[in-house]
Structure 1
Amino acid sequence: MRRKQFTERQILSILKQHESGVSVADLCREHGMSQSAFYKWRSKYAGMDSSMLNELKRLQEENAKLKKLYAEERLVSEARKELLEGKW
């Protein structure tokens, strides 16, 4: 069975349907997902709206950039350390 991919917007829409009174079983049947997926989404996206989702994505992108910069600087630092120790 192929895995269905949902966008964050679709996930928020499904969660809002649940908040309006639709049961979890009905949502899962309608959208073709498991209940465990629903509960994982609810724990991750509970109480979010689209502006908060945009902010989350922006912070995740910024975090990825910072991790990349740190890794590059760490490599440069290690190379300098080896040069100063005379390993080359």
Structure 2
Amino acid sequence: MQKQTHSEEQIIGILREADGGKTVRQVCKDHNISDKTYYRWKRKYGRMEVADAKRLRELEKENTELKKIVAEQLLNIKVLEHVNAKKW
């Protein structure tokens, strides 16, 4: 079975359908997702609007980039410490 990915906007739309009066089971059946997936999405995106989800995506991307920078700097520091530890 192929894994289907949904965008944040689609996920929020699906959650809003259940808030709009449909049952959770019916929404899950309509969109071919499990109850577990629905509740996991609800825990993560439950109170968000589409603009909030876009901002979350941007922040996660920025966080990833910052983590890479920190890792590179740590590596540079370790290399310099190793070079300076040698006696010339």
With the shorter chain as reference, the TM-score category is over 0.9
Report the equivalent of 1:24.
24
How does the TM-score come out when normalised to structure 2?
0.93
Report the equivalent of 1:3.
3
Report the equivalent of 1:45.
45
Structure 1: which amino acid aligns with 2:86? G
Larger RCO, structures 1/2 (Cα 8 Å, 6+ apart): 2
Gaps of 5+ in 1: none
Report the equivalent of 1:77.
77
Q: Could you tell me how far 1:2 is from its partner in structure 2?
A: 2.3
Deviating above 6 A after TM superposition, structure 1's stretches of 4 or more consecutive aligned residues are none
> Secondary structure at 1:60's aligned position in 2?
helix
Report the equivalent of 1:65.
65
Distance 1:15 1:5 in 2: 15
* Structural RMSD (CA): 1.5
CA displacement, residues 16-48 of structure 1 (integer Å, 9 cap, x when unaligned)? 101111101101111111000000000000110
Q: Could you tell me how far 1:58 is from its partner in structure 2?
A: 1.2
How does the TM-score come out when normalised to structure 1?
0.93
CA contact (8 A) 2:18 2:24 kept: yes
- Percent sequence identity is 31
